[in-house]
Structure 1
């Protein structure tokens, strides 16, 4: 087994146009503030070998601009889409509470047992994000990678890295707009070890 160290930076998209809501697969672009948040979160001195992005506009457009400006390869990965919120797509938290009291609280406290009505189950969501994560850990071994994605996707990846139970994955970690996390993967003759180096910066 070849020894290698892979560094993967995860960044959530900035504020989307349209304000706070459960947008999941709803494909809104970044707001002007969202663009500012993303540009402020990335320094000119940082270096990557590869940019990987969700295909949704609020991630892809920034990732494409960054990759173009820095002459980096860009990969779109459908598996990095946000969880589908089903009937909650496009609704605010207040509207959900008014329509179905306590439903949102149940989802945040145990999303495995209480998925959004008509939405993706947590097991389905976790499985596709996990497949993407393992793919890029192999494909980009030894490289520095920036992944532009969503709050739910980051929660699934960090649950995988840190062993967080799925029923705690949404409530255990705060992932605000333009939040960054850094994971290191060390591969050696002793195995593959993943560790969270930073979160929230």
Structure 2
């Protein structure tokens, strides 16, 4: 079997600082956010195709990268971030202080203790996994880049390594961090997390 390589990059820092955006808030990247992503990639451009979340903080970079290196780009709506319900727009500090017990319950069991109105974690993982599996099948034998969010990358990693959803938020995904998954006849292998491709 020909190997299929999927690189994933998390968007850089968005305008508005560190807060729960989910998919209801569509902030653009800051100058620092753009810099984080370009720095991680450097001059690397060995991809045959780029797939991106529809949200601005991912799609704007994906389109710029595709244009720079003449790589086709497609938008996959199932790669948008998980919905955080009433937490959308609130900073991490606001949640930790104003909703302390709710926040602790979420960290201990993010499957059963979702913010009010949030997308169910199992449903989120399922939608991301279905889009990812279709990507791997469609681009078999190729090298692709997915531009997405921390939650999406966590969901893909958890699916690849067969980790329980309850541990999803124990995976740190850095702004501009690159993850690589290599698919062989034995399945997907997580090669690295939060790396860079720049020399």
Give the TM-score of the pair, scaled to structure 1. 0.93
1:113 match: 112
Which residue in the other structure is 1:37 paired with? 36
- Identify the match of residue 192 of structure 2 among 192, 195, 198: 198
Deviations 1:20-54 (A, max 9, x none): 10011110000010000011010213410000000
Q: Which residue number in structure 1 is paired with residue 180 of structure 2? A: 182
Give the match for residue 92 of structure 2: 93
**Structure 2, unpaired ranges of 5+:** none
- Once residues 109 and 133 of structure 1 are traced to their aligned partners in structure 2, the CA distance between those partners, rounded to angstroms, is 27
Query: Is the 1:93–1:104 contact (alpha carbons within 8 Å) kept by the matching residues of 2?
Result: no
> CA-to-partner distance for each residue in 1:165-188, whole Å, 9 max, x for gaps?
1001112x111111111000113x
Alpha-carbon distance between aligned partners in 2 of 1:34 and 1:130, rounded to the nearest angstrom? 26
Root mean square deviation, CA, Å: 1.0
Q: CA deviation at 1:109?
A: 2.5
- Structure 1 stretch displaced more, 66-75 or 89-98: 89-98
Gaps of 5+ in 1: none
